Amino acid sequence: MRRRLVPALAAVGAWTVCLAGAAPAAVAEDARSQQWYLDAMQAEKIWKVSTGEGVKVAVVDSGVNSSTASLRGQVLQGKDLSGAPGSETKDPLGHGTTMAELIAGTGRGDGIKGMAPEAEIIPFRTALEGMEGTDKSSTGHKAIRAAADSDAKIINLSLGGDYFTPDDEAAIKYAARKGKLMFASTGNEAQGKNKRNYPAAYKEVVGVGATDEAGKVAKFSNYGQDVTLVAPGQDIPRWCDGDFKGYCDGGEGTSQASAIASASAALIWSKHPDWTANQVLRVMIDTAAKPKTGKIPSKYLGYGEVRPRMSVLENEGDPGDPGENPLTGEGGTSESSAPGGASDSKKDNAADKVKVEDSASSDDSSQLWTILGVGAAVVVLGGGAFAFVRARRG
């Protein structure tokens, strides 16, 4: 793993949120009407079976405003590690609150309806760029450790930076040992430097890229070895700012994609409360809408787009070994090979020549929407036991 080592005496800048741009957006009068992906993912049908009840999700972010109409009663006590004025329920950016609503919002007051509307949120506020009153140093590792010590099963990390730190890595490993399932945004610089984004780049973390309404990888979504799954992340409503006077439409970023992936995991875990994080993730990978053609994992879509309905409604996906981490292969008791019969994922990545800018490419879109269509065939990978060990992440 190529790492940007930080000298011991150097100050490490705070993480940034993973929003794709700051372009002005129209105010959305009804946020729910802008959530196109809920219909595409058949959320209403899923909610008849699972709503995320009984699952707690830690949101490590800019804070979570627990008094919005959509989050009232959904937010539990968390912790503030940012050093900024206020508590974990003060969100000066509006970002953490948006992520929380995308995960567990009730939709009351024409607000955002979460993909897992009966899950509960535990907020852990960390220092982020744009937050006043912090010392601008990273407090992310403290927030991750606090989340790992909480009752949350899932940790959502819709933030990041292009630097590696031993403290952050140690915190991630600590959370993994505690059995937490971690999702993080891969970043929004695909058309620029496309640098690796931490914490998504740590091998124990599920890196989540963004797709658009057509099921194609978003132009801004970082690609490469750290993309495990993708989820909707374009044209999704968000709180305009920390004043909470209204929602803005047209929001986009791998931040939103990570939150929707976290909510999808909550739906599956709620139905199967006896599963481990490894089993939930293995089923998510197994049932993801695979890239139409090309190598799997694809460097743009990873193993594909999240489809919780395949597990919740169709009972698809083999949870497999509860002790084996599908990302690292560690802790397992059985041997298996990588999807598609290719064990050298670095070689696969080098052979993948599809360009993200090519709208006609076949590797940068998933089968999610066609599979949801009337009469469409569900594509299922079969044959043998699959292991989702991503050697190139290590």
The CA-atom distances, in angstroms, between 141 and each of 57, 144, 173 are 17, 5, 11
Among 4, 68, 10, 78, which residue's Cα sits nearest to residue 246? 68
Q: Looking at residues 10-16, what average pLDDT do you find?
A: 57
pLDDT value of position 136: 57
Q: What share of the chain in percent tops pLDDT 70?
A: 77
How far out from the chain centre does Cα 109 lie? 26
If you average pLDDT over residues 376-383, what whole number do you get?
33
351-372 pLDDT, tens per residue? Answer: 333 333 323 234 555 544 433 3
Specify the residue for token string 């044959």: 383
- Per-residue pLDDT of 233-273, as tens digits, reads 999 999 999 999 999 988 899 999 999 999 999 999 999 99
DSSP state of 33: G
How many CB atoms lie under 10 A from the CB of residue 108? 16
Q: How far is CA 129 from the centre of its chain?
A: 20
pLDDT at 60: 97
Annotated catalytic sites, by residue? 61, 95, 255
Does 379 score more than 50 pLDDT?
no
Can you list the domains of the chain with their CATH numbers?
16-393 (3.40.50.200)
pLDDT of residue 26: 58
- Give residue 29's pLDDT band: very low, low, confident or very high (50, 70, 90): low
